[in-house]
Structure 1
Amino acid sequence: MKPIFRRLAFGLSAMAALLTASGALAQDKQVNLGVAIPAATHGFTGGIVWWANEAKKELEKQHPGLKITVKTAANASEQANQLQDLLTVNKINTLVVFPFESASLTRPVAQVKGKGVYVTVVDRGLTDTSAQDAYVAGDNTAFGRIPAEYLAKRLNGKGNIVALRGIATTIDNERMDAFKAVLKNYPDIKLLDARYANWNRDDAFKVMQDYLTRFKQIDAVWAADDDMAVGVLKAIEQAKRTDIQEVFGGAGSKGMVKTILEGKNKLVQADVSYSPKFIYEAIKLTAEARLKGEALPPKTIIPSVLITKENAQQFYFPNSPF
């Protein structure tokens, strides 16, 4: 082969190698992100679903190398099956998961991570943190501490409280532990009972009916969720009970914040923030970090604050689904 042709062949080979390397680099920057979240079974998860789809719509438009698949599950076993589908059918390399339950989803998420998928867990933590790369949540300790401090002050350090818990998850445990820790400082406040009502207004209605039957004097209710608070208020209204001074929900739904702003219900004077928008933030943070080939901090906590009539306008979003 003549020298000029040798140089040309070498140049073409080098160019081909460069193009191959460039293609591989571009391929490395492709992020196929799966989002696994509970279905919209109540107001808060309705907000989660809405914000997750907003993230898909906005982030895919901003980042051509990003594909987002959102799956919603009605129960823990369905979510576990969806995780396998995201891995084998959708070929994800990144996962943002809001576990339906903590214990039952830990192993399925760990299996996905074991296949080399980057995992961000949101809100309901897993029982084994080695199954995740990052964790994003609201401040669940503050979510339990703030209402306990507020109710203790409201009752002047004396009275009977009943509580409604959510679903058996790590965040529910964090909230309840923080609530009880505050009440230890008030020996004249008695926590009569704390039962699960699944963050559901119908279940909360039934639990509160039971409380009203069993306890003749209830001074305050920690409903621990705005949907549950709606069920609690309905039960109190039907029973025509006048002993209860306050019903404290949680999460800052637009309906509850509007009630606080308007002052139409004397039983609802305060709430604590915990917006479902954090799923949007978790997806955005994870996607943009992975597009850069970076990792998130091990834990990102979004603050929760007390909502009263004085600051409620800052937390009122009438166009939000929650």
Structure 2
Amino acid sequence: MNIRTTLAATSALAMTAVGGSVAAETMTIGITQNNVGVDSYQTTYEKAFIAAAEANSKVDVVVLDAGGDVARQIAQMEDLIQQEVDAIIIWPTNGEAVIPAVRKASKANIPVVVTNSNIAEAGFPFVASFSGPDNITQGSRSAEIMCDKFKEMGIENEARVVQISGQPGYTTAIERQKGFDDRLPEVCPNVTLVETQPGDWNREKSQKVMEAFLVKYDDIDGVYSGDDNMGVGALNAAKAAGRDGIIFVGATNFAVGYEAMERGEYWGSIYQSPVDDAKAALKTAIETLEGKELPFLNYFDTPKITQDNMGDFTKPVF
């Protein structure tokens, strides 16, 4: 197994080979990731992906990170096409903007597997398969968690909720917000979603967003965040302001979210493993190259986790 890695490189010349020459019977798979350094989920995903590749003698991988830059990711796609890799895995920085690059790979007869966050529907004809979580379902389940808690508290007819979404234009953020926005009025029709602002998957920014919400609204009963990293940022703002009794619900249970649940400060989230995510993406790419028939959408399950059932789940490693 041969791995070539770089952080945010845009040129194939910037990459150096590690190990011996690539054997003729191996398959070379390139991956361009969204932004490894932005949160621990993506960092853990990359480590798990490399470990899975190292364990497979049939695979050589080129591991790239776009650093959250759409232009850089498009350039990385073009580099991988120029290198004539056998398959490309892309974790899109922007579901719309990467479509031309994905189309270019498809025209070069290089199958593309989208991982974690899907591209926009217009790009589906150029994609072999998607591997990752069902983000709309995650948002829906988060709404159910929050509604159930409000009903337990007896405030389902008066509760007011604010939402901190992910990075604008990012498919995961769009889908998790849609799932929540659509499901909440179905299960708790009298709960009011008063405002949504982006937290960009960043804890510090989300804390500032929540600080502004707390100044603007005297009555906040619940906060939904697109992941626990942002949710804990919102929790920190509420704690600093002395605003007790707010129900915090996220999606993608981070270690910091799990710990806050243990302390009784954070109510619930959605359990998702970056290790499973990474392994599934590599497996999907390999099986695509082997000619196996796969569904277009390859989802892995992401169950609800709350203070009530968290003992059934191990603490996340990210």
TM class by shorter chain equals: 0.7 to 0.9
Structure 2, gaps ≥5 residues long:
1-22
Equivalent residue number for residue 88 of structure 2:
95
Question: 1:151 maps to which residue?
Answer: 146
CA deviation after TM superposition for structure 1 residue 43, in Å: 2.1
In the TM superposition, 1:227-306 aligns within 5 A as 227-242=229-244, 244-260=245-261, 262=262, 264=263, 266-277=264-275, 278-290=277-289, 292-306=290-304
| Aligned residue in 1 for 2:31 | 35
CA contact (8 A) 2:113 2:284 kept: no
Question: Which residue in the other structure is 1:47 paired with?
Answer: 44
- Matched residues in 2 for 1:180 and 1:207: separation? 19
Q: Is 2:173–2:226's contact at 8 Å kept on the other side of the alignment?
A: no
The aligned counterpart of 1:141 is: 136
Q: Secondary structure at the match of 2:180?
A: helix
Structure 1 residues 124 and 58, CA gap change in structure 2 (3 angstroms)? same
The alpha carbon displacement at 1:99 in A equals 0.7
Q: Deviations over 1:104-161 (max 9, x none)?
A: 1111121112111011111221122112110112121221111111111212223000
- 1:67 equivalent among 55, 60, 71: 60
Distance 1:313 1:187 in 2: 31
Helix, strand or coil at the partner of 1:192: strand
Following superposition, the deviation at residue 289 of structure 1 comes to 4.2
Range with greater deviation from structure 2 (247-256 or 155-164): 247-256
**Alpha-carbon shift at residue 249 of structure 1 (Å):** 1.9
Aligned length: 284
Aligned to 2:37, what secondary structure does the other structure show? Answer: coil
Q: Does 1:178 align with 2:179?
A: yes
CA distance in 2, matches of 1:149, 1:298: 27
**Is the partner of 2:75 in helix, strand or coil?**
helix
Instruction: Map Cα deviations across residues 185-241 of structure 1 (whole Å, 9 max, x no partner).
Output: 333210011111111101111111111111110001001201101211111122111
Structure 1 gap ranges (5+): 1-25
- Which whole-Å CA distance do the structure 2 matches of 1:300 and 1:148 have between them? 23
Q: How far apart are the structure 2 equivalents of 1:134 and 1:191?
A: 34
Q: Distance in 1 between matches of 2:107 and 2:278?
A: 23
Identity of aligned residues (%): 22
The alpha carbon displacement at 1:182 in A equals 2.0
Q: Give how far 1:48 is off.
A: 2.1
Question: CA–CA distance in 2 between the matches of 1:309 and 1:164?
Answer: 21
Deviation by residue 1:264-298 (Cα, 9 ceiling, x = unmatched): 1x3312221122221221112322442x3335321
Q: Does 1:121 pair with 2:114?
A: yes
Question: What is aligned with 2:19?
Answer: none
Q: Supply the AA of the counterpart residue of 1:218.
A: I
SS in 2 for 1:161: strand
**Cα distance, 1:258 vs. partner?**
3.6
Q: Which residue, 207, 215, 219 being the options, matches 2:217?
A: 215
Contact preservation (8 Å) 2:132, 2:298: yes
**Deviation digits for residues 44-64 of structure 1, max 9, x if unmatched?**
2222222222222222xxx2x
Distance (whole Å) between structure 2 residues aligned to residue 299 and residue 200 of structure 1: 28
Aligned match for 1:307, one of 305, 308, 312: 305
Q: Secondary structure at the match of 2:200?
A: coil
Q: CA deviation at 1:305?
A: 0.9
Aligned to 1:40, the other structure's residue is in SS state: helix
> 1:14 — aligned with what?
none
**Aligned partners of 2:130 and 2:296 also within 8 Å:** yes
RMSD: 1.9
Query: Given that residues 199 and 209 in structure 2 are in contact (C-alpha distance below 8 angstroms), is that contact kept between their aligned partners in structure 1?
Result: yes
Following the alignment from structure 1 to structure 2, what is the Cα–Cα distance between the partners of residues 53 and 213? 45
SS at match of 1:103: coil
User: What amino acid maps onto 1:144 in structure 2?
Assistant: G
- On the 8 A contact 1:140/1:171 being kept in 2, the answer is yes
